[in-house]
């Protein structure tokens, strides 16, 4: 049954975090996609691959019944081999499919196992939205740092947020 929770979750996946990721990547030179501050850190490219794999496994496979083809370790091992446009297109397609699954008539409280974790569709959706939020913040921060003070990445009008009545 579609609920406020499923509608809002789909909206966050498709209409909030995806545009934020696109905005961050628009400021990033292609050469910075695989940049790492050191060998044990992940790049934006790795994080995008990881998000696509996680969303696919938890929503498309776990809730939608798609075949599981995820290779999680490869998401972090890559050092190159993809463009911003190619990786973002794959993630956008997965997010679109995931939003459709979330908005479908699924039983939210049944028990299932995803990635070895006992969970429910409601918990899986919550996990994916939270996980996407977490890594979106990391990607935005890296993009701001790499672009410098003139990055131009903003999601809110700070002047309006400081207006009386908005506190």
Q: What is the pLDDT of residue 155?
A: 87
Check pLDDT > 60 for residue 106.
Answer: yes
Domain 4-161 of CATH type 1.20.120.450: yes
> Do residues 21 and 88 make contact, with C-beta atoms less than 8 angstroms apart?
yes
List, for residues 133-166, the tens digit of each pLDDT value.
Answer: 999 999 999 999 999 998 988 888 777 777 777 6
How much of the chain exceeds pLDDT 90, in percent? Answer: 75
Q: What is the pLDDT of residue 90?
A: 96
Q: What is the pLDDT of residue 72?
A: 82
List, for residues 50-78, the tens digit of each pLDDT value.
Answer: 999 999 999 999 999 999 998 987 887 88
Q: What is the pLDDT of residue 85?
A: 96
Check pLDDT > 90 for residue 113.
Answer: yes
How far is Cα 151 from Cα 54, in angstroms, rounded to an integer? Answer: 28
| Predicted TM-score of the model (pTM) | 0.91
Nearest Cα neighbor of 68 from 85, 80, 54 is 54
List, for residues 15-36, the tens digit of each pLDDT value.
Answer: 999 999 999 999 999 999 999 9
How far is Cα 155 from Cα 140, in angstroms, rounded to an integer? Answer: 11
State both tokens at 60.
């498309």
* Count of residues making up the chain: 167
């Amino acid at each position: 049954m579609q609920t406020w929770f499923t509608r809002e979750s789909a909206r966050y996946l498709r209409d909030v975090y995806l545009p934020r990721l696109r905005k961050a990547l628009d400021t990033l030179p292609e050469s910075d996609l695989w940049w790492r501050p050191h060998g044990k850190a992940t790049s934006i490219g790795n994080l995008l691959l990881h998000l696509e794999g996680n969303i696919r496994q938890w929503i498309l496979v776990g809730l939608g019944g798609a075949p599981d083809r995820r290779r999680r370790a490869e998401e972090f091992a890559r050092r190159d081999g993809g463009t911003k446009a190619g990786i973002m297109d794959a993630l956008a397609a997965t997010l679109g499919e995931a939003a459709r699954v979330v908005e479908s008539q699924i039983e939210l409280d049944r028990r299932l196992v995803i990635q070895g974790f006992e969970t429910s569709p409601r918990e899986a959706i919550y996990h994916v939205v939270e996980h996407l939020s977490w890594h979106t913040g990391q990607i935005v921060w890296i993009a701001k740092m790499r672009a410098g003070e003139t990055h131009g990445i903003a999601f809110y009008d700070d002047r309006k947020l400081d207006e009386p009545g908005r506190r």
